[in-house]
Amino acid sequence: MGKGYVLGLDAGGTKTHCALYNFKSGQLDLKTWGVGNHEGLPGGFEQLHKELAANLVELIGRNNLAFSDIDMAVFGMGGVDTNEQHRIISEMLKKIGVARFILCNDAYLGVKAGAKSGCGICAINGTGASLAGIDDAGGRIQIGGFGEMSGDFGGASMLVTMAIGCVYNELFRGHDKTSMTPAMMTLVGAENRHDFMEKLTALLGSGYGACILEICKILFGEAAKGDVIATGLLEKSGKAYAQAAAGAVRELAFKENKPIEIVLAGSLFTKGACKKQQETMETLLPELLGGRDFVLTPLDTPCVAGAVLWALDEIAVFGHREMVSKELKEMTEK
């Protein structure tokens, strides 16, 4: 061992957390910045490289370290969905100076952060949607992450698009009424149905992230009040997550003598006003899993903790789970 440092990064479509931890002294430093997914950056891979380099160098430098002082690093990143994406970003990290690391999709971090055994399944329901599993032997599988191309039905981007479509269908195609319609028209400042889309697109253009968040609040809020259309979207989403979880179990080799830990991560699972997605999963999973026991747990620890804990596991340093999870939760909530 060198100086006793590990590095963990969780990079998503909205926010990036990077933690530097010294397992000898207990010192923990966290750096936070914005989008860490090349698919969400205007400059793509080139911009991702620049931002990773600048932020990692700043974090390492302010602790008077060099990259050679890092014993192990784990990078969980949105947009690492294919071997080619993995290759490109791996080369970036090597050029920046990181020598020993694991690079994976950010969905895997939820398993390490939320599953007590360190193996199980994590369903991500944040800006985007994906699901990842790690079995007892270390086998891994990711399902989804490509949006419509992989049939994902979750995450704010997808659910907001579908919710807007339901409102549009009511206004112009005579579909069933939904209480999301007056709420969205008020949000965008539409005086009538004919200026709804113009007002909506203008609002999206002026502040996409904030607008998506407000529409998510409308979707989940109206579902919580019992709106049939809003509830139906969340039920369909819950079904898709349950089917993906069952698909991961079929692909992996979980031990038969213990329940499968299924971690629910992302703000729409953990902070959404309506829990219809989770309720639907709980209803469908017993049959989809063939009667196997499972435990469904909302993640109350930041995914970056999973990256740090994974890095520690790789160098056989144990016993830090409670402290790392507690401190990173406090730091990310400030």
Nearest CA to 73 out of 54, 93, 95, 50 is that of 93
pLDDT of residue 146: 85
Q: Is 93 helix (H, G, I), strand (E, B) or coil?
A: helix
pLDDT of residue 1: 63
Q: Which two tokens stand for residue 145?
A: 């992450």
Where, residue-wise, is CATH 3.30.420.40 in the chain? 5-104+301-332, 110-300
pTM, to two decimals: 0.89
> Cα separations (Å) of 213 from 127, 233, 235?
9, 17, 20
Point out which residues pair with 30 in neighbouring strands. Answer: 19
Give the model confidence (pLDDT) of 252-288 as tens digits. 999 999 999 999 998 999 999 999 999 999 999 999 9
The distance of Cα 310 from the centroid of its chain, to the nearest Å, equals 17
Convert 154-167 to b/e letters by CB count within 10 Å (16 or more is b): bbbbbbbebbbebb
Phi, psi of 206, deg, nearest 5:
-85, -20
Give the model confidence (pLDDT) of 14-58 as tens digits. 899 999 999 999 999 999 999 999 998 999 999 999 999 999 999
CB atoms inside a 10 Å sphere around CB 285: 21
Nearest CA to 302 out of 272, 278, 267 is that of 267
List, in sequence order, the alpha helices (H) in the chain.
Answer: 44-62, 83-96, 107-114, 156-173, 180-188, 196-206, 208-224, 228-251, 267-270, 276-288, 303-314, 321-332
What's at 27, amino acid-wise? Q
- The rounded distance, in Å, linking the Cα atoms of 35 and 134 is 26
- The rounded distance, in Å, linking the Cα atoms of 215 and 160 is 6
Say which CATH superfamily domain 5-104+301-332 falls into: ATPase, nucleotide binding domain (3.30.420.40)
> Cα separations (Å) of 150 from 17, 38, 142?
27, 19, 11
Q: Give pLDDT < 70 ranges for the chain.
A: 1
Nearest CA to 101 out of 60, 76, 77, 73 is that of 73
Contact, 223 vs 230, CB < 8 A? yes
Give the model confidence (pLDDT) of 178-193 as tens digits. 999 999 999 999 999 9
Give me the residue label for tokens 């409102």. Answer: 167
Nearest CA to 288 out of 245, 224, 228, 230 is that of 245
The CATH number corresponding to 110-300 among 3.30.420.40, 3.40.50.720, 3.40.50.300, 3.10.129.10 equals 3.30.420.40
